Amino acid sequence: MGKKTPRPFGLRLKWNKLCRMSTPQQANAIAARFRGFLPVVVDVETAGFDAKSDALLEIAIVLICMDTDGLLRPAETHSCHVAPFPGAHLDPKALEFNGIDPDHPFRMALPEKAALKHIFTPIHKAIKAAGCNRSILVGHNAFFDLGFINAAVERTGFKRNPFHPFSTFDTVSLAGLALGQTVLARSVEAAGLGWDGNQAHSAIYDAQKTAELFCTIVNRWQMSMLEKPWEMMKLR
């Protein structure tokens, strides 16, 4: 794969209009749905598989909201390029696979701590707005993304990590159950959402497609349920 021209730093998409809540009860509905956790989709692009030694190069998040019908929707997307931490390992095979040139002049990469602040700030705001207590990471092979986020938090001494330290919603498991697929591209296609291979392995694109997949699976399950246990139980 050839080197990609980096997408604009700090890309942000507007909040989904379907998620504008008119009452406090509607605004807090997503908190009741997931026991006070706000799902936030994350995709990272890296220079290898080892979160302790390999560089974190891109982070993208998609905030999830709930509309007035109780359905999940992808909301804002936030992203940034990340500068390799001092002494980070850069695996040439990983860079060839994701097409990232860490020295590209258009990357405008942030140091890890600044990148975490850039990504975490809108998450904290969304947690407060939704009446949630914390966020929970949604990812495709979520352990990988959470591992790199946690490693960067540890390296930088960042104090306000919004994510649960180990719990996740993994769309690999959800797609395997609901669609009989585990690969992201095949899962997205099986859900009827469309996949562009030319945009794949960009943190922004993969995060957005993972968000669509997560919302679609949860919504289809929810609409198929005659009883909704989450509506019968109070937050504990």
Q: Which of 104, 118, 164, 201 is catalytic?
A: 201
Query: Would you give per-residue pLDDT tens digits along the chain (236 residues)?
Result: 455 555 555 545 444 554 554 455 556 789 989 999 999 999 999 999 999 999 999 999 999 999 988 899 999 999 999 999 999 999 999 999 999 999 998 899 999 999 999 999 999 999 999 999 999 999 999 999 999 999 999 999 999 999 999 999 999 999 999 999 999 999 999 999 999 988 888 999 999 999 999 999 999 998 887 777 777 665 45
* pTM of the complete model: 0.89
> Do residues 89 and 48 touch, judged by C-beta distance below 8 A?
yes
Instruction: With beta carbons less than 8 A apart as the criterion, state whether 42 and 148 touch.
Output: no
The yes-or-no answer on residue 104 being catalytic is no
Token pair listed for 215? 């919302």
Among left, alpha and beta (phi > 0; psi -120 to 50; other), residue 49 is: alpha
DSSP string across 154-198: HHHT-S---EEEEEEEEHHHHHHHHHS--SHHHHHHHTT----TT
Rounded Cα–Cα distance for residues 134 and 114 (Å): 21
